[in-house]
Amino acid sequence: MDWLLKIHISSAMLSLTGFVARGVWMIRGSSRLEASMTRILPHLIDTVLLVTGIWLAFRLQLSPIQHAWLGDKLIAVMLYIGLGAVALRFGRSRAVRITSWVAALIVFAYIVGVAVTHQPMPFTAT
């Protein structure tokens, strides 16, 4: 497999692992959520994920306008980041945080579905 795609997929898996861990710490009220490593590492991983994704798109000459799946994937990535921020930072109540966390995980599953199938609606039979 291509090295760039390997880095992209590895950073996607690390991003998910970190997001699941932070969600569990959020639900348990763990102080680990405040650790400097917990705050910095996800930004590094997500930056690698975004940069390698954009790099791949350029290299494969895939435009998000011509390729609807890529455009939808980008919108879903923004939604994942936004929901993640509500879940781990801005959500005011426990219910809002947990709901946003679960919604972000569903969006992540959608992103992987779109990435693998190149279809904007990966889970519907055609």
For the bound state, the minimum distance from the C-beta of residue 14 to ligand HEM, rounded and expressed in Å, comes to 10
Q: Which is closer to ligand HEM, CB of 55 or CB of 90? A: 55
> How many Å apart are CA 123 and CA 20, to the nearest integer?
22
Query: Residue 26 CB, nearest distance to ligand HEM (Å)?
Result: 19
Q: Which residues bind ligand HEM (CB under 6 A)?
A: 5, 8-9, 12, 49-50, 53-54, 56-57, 60, 62, 70, 73-74, 77, 80, 108, 111-112, 115-116
Whole-number Cα distances in Å, 21 to 14, 56, 57, 118, 120: 10, 28, 29, 28, 28
Whole-number Å distance between alpha carbons of 57 and 112: 16
Task: Provide the minimum distance between the beta carbon of 96 and ligand HEM in the complex, in angstroms, as a whole number.
Answer: 22
Kindly report the length of the chain. Answer: 126
Name the residue whose CB lies closest to ligand HEM. 53
